[in-house]
Amino acid sequence: MTKTSLQLEAYFYPKISIEANREYKRTERTPQSEIEVNTKFFLISKDERRWEVSLTIKTIPKEYPIPYAIDIEAVGFFKVDKRYPEGETEKLIHIGAPTILYSATREFILTISSRGPWGPIYIPSTSFLEKPKEKEKTEIPEA
């Protein structure tokens, strides 16, 4: 396989909402929330092996107020190298594409939240190795 079996051609954020909670107060307790991660996959061209992938990340408060409410969507356009085995392309897309979008979105959230009143939010890394689920939840420690 080539090192560029999966090529990100472009990505953008059609929905960006990172809202500071004005009522949040720093306490000794670390605010707890979960993040909900959803993915959608669309085959654009089977011949050209092009895909559109959508990834959404949303915070869900657990017990008490969290510093930021996050609701963001990233959309990326990907191409699988023609030398990559035909039977493995879908697996590559379902693992590789959301991993790339999630990584870019983590940094985007960090950059934006670092300019907010409560400091930066570091959302945890995640794995897309398992078969895609409609909703995937990961715990997030807030800053």
The one-character DSSP state at 30 is P
pLDDT at 51: 96
Report yes or no: 38 and 56 within 8 Å, Cβ to Cβ.
Answer: yes
Q: One digit per residue, pLDDT tens: the chain, 143 residues?
A: 446 799 999 999 999 999 998 888 777 566 667 889 999 999 999 888 999 999 999 988 776 678 889 999 999 999 999 999 988 999 999 999 999 999 999 999 999 999 999 889 888 888 898 754 444 444 444 44
Q: Could you tell me how many residues make up the chain?
A: 143
pLDDT at 62: 77
CATH numbers and ranges of domains, the chain: 6-141 (3.10.420.10)
pLDDT at 100: 96
pLDDT at 75: 98
The one-character DSSP state at 84 is S
Calpha distance 90→127 (Å, rounded): 16
Q: Which residues contact 120 (CB under 8 A, 6 or more apart)?
A: 110, 113, 114, 143
pLDDT at 78: 97
